[in-house]
Amino acid sequence: MNYYIGAELNGNLLKIAVFKKTRQVFEIIKLDSINLPNDPDEASKELRFWLNRNLSEPSSIKVVLTVSESILYIKEMEFPKMSPEKLNEAIYWELPSIAPIPQSDAVYDWKKISEQKGSYNIVVLVGKSSYIQNIISIFRNAQMEVVVIEPSSYAFARIANAPFDSNTLLCLVQEQGMDFIILKYGVPFFTTSITGNTQVEKLSKIKTGTDLTNEIVNEGKKIITYWENKENLKINQVVVSGDLVYKYFGLSATLNIFPPITTYIGTIKRIRALKTNEYNDLVLVTHLVSIGAGIRFLQKDVYEGINLFSQEEKLKNEKIRLQKKITSHLMSFVYTNIVILLLLFISILALNLWNYSLEKKFTKLNLNLSSKMSSALIQNVNKINNNIKSVISLTREQEDSGAKLKTISDLVPQTIKLTSVNLSSTKSREWTIEGIGDRNTILAFYKILKEKTDATFISMPYSNFNKETENEFSITLVW
């Protein structure tokens, strides 16, 4: 069986959410936590022991792993507009200004969060390659394939039931301390942790929800005040989560502790394709990050997004992505040709049936010829001639439809996926093409249809350009 795992690594504590996929349904089958030993070999053994005990007959195990922002260096930078390849190279040469890590021992990734007329605002995340490779080795030695490593808050924003379309202060409150992370549109922008023996002692003395509220407010207000007053960064909302939060506040929708800023309690978002089985909400929220990491597998491309792999690993993944895209386009081409062949087969079958019907009519006409008046004979002959003309017209129409489908198939860009081609009635000569792709390619496809086909009228009655990719469209052609 194929298993998909979302995992949250925070220090030595590993929280795991195990999924299995049935058609388009993603089902949680196991939520668990493991304390990994410091020694990598022992950690692999412990992970392998857990695997053998909890997952039956695994044929493939793929993992999206999150790491704490406390081990990352994060910085927002401005770059002039350029291709992703050149931008990636430019960021590489800026690494010494972001993190005190030699470039040879750095892994990094970036996310565009806004753009101006001639520039991009980019959030860059940098980690230590040796640490990341050590984690990957632990999982691989346990026969688990890590395909993505991402920040914990990035996974949290994917699953938490709160809007992340603006600046958010995320407060993660655990027994071992507090993490405060500022996110811009769901991407971590700033992080600070309050940990250590002193903080553990402070948290251990918390007796009531009021004590916990005071701790969150005292630390959170310092961060909000600094960023709003010193850096002119407006915080639009606060989201609090963590085991202590659920212990004292339960699953309340919101709290009023940072007025007038709305404060949400991090609860799980309902996703149609996600089945949580018998797990109740209080259990689910303690694994929000690992669940959020796991549902990244529901994306069309799991590699799309922040991934703190080495550049060598990313190149391997990019080759896999290209192979999948080429395969997808080839399959679309094959399906289009199958439709054309099917239409031709139906045409031949229809012609044979019509020919058989005509032969029967001729036989009947010959039998009754002697007893028919000349006027009746002329009517039958005219009727047969009309039928023959209809056969010839149908043949030409089928050949014409096949040629037009072939033309459209040749014009479809590789990055567009056609979902349907609807050929309406012969009288209206109206076809509808529907599909999915990015905005620029859709517009280019629309333009080339106007230029390269002999349709008398072409329009785009529906399009959805709200996303960078995966936009839906519908194009109508009248021949």
Number of neighbouring beta carbons within 10 Å of residue 418: 18
CATH 3.30.1360 fits 413-479, yes or no: yes
pLDDT at residue 198 tops 60: no
The per-type count for the chain, helices as H runs and strands as E runs, is 12, 19
According to DSSP, the β-strands at 261-265 and 237-241 are parallel
Helical packing angle, 311-368 and 374-411, nearest 10°? 170
Query: What is the pLDDT averaged over residues 183-193?
Result: 92
Tell me the domain boundaries of the chain.
1-159+272-309, 161-267, 325-411, 413-479
In this prediction, what percent of the chain has a pLDDT beyond 90?
A: 44
Tell the residue number behind the tokens 């949580």, with chain if given: 276
pLDDT in tens, 21-57: 987 789 999 999 999 999 999 999 999 999 999 998 8
Q: How far is CA 238 from CA 51, 169, 232, 257, 313, in A?
A: 37, 5, 17, 9, 35
CATH fold for the domain made of 161-267: Nucleotidyltransferase; domain 5 (3.30.420)
Query: What is the pLDDT averaged over residues 329-351?
Result: 79
Query: What is the pLDDT averaged over residues 165-188?
Result: 90
Beta strands in 152-260 (DSSP E): 167-174, 177-184, 187-195, 237-241, 254-258
Tell the residue number behind the tokens 């990352």, with chain if given: 72
Domains 1-159+272-309 and 161-267 share a fold: yes
- Banded pLDDT at 197 (limits 50, 70, 90): very low
Using CA atoms, how far apart are residues 225 and 372, in angstroms rounded to an integer? 104
Q: pTM of the entire structure? A: 0.66
Q: Which residues contact 17 (CB under 8 A, 6 or more apart)?
A: 5, 6, 7, 28, 30, 31, 287, 290, 291, 293, 294
- Banded pLDDT at 370 (limits 50, 70, 90): low
pLDDT of residue 181: 95
Q: Which CATH architecture best describes the domain 1-159+272-309?
A: 2-Layer Sandwich (3.30)
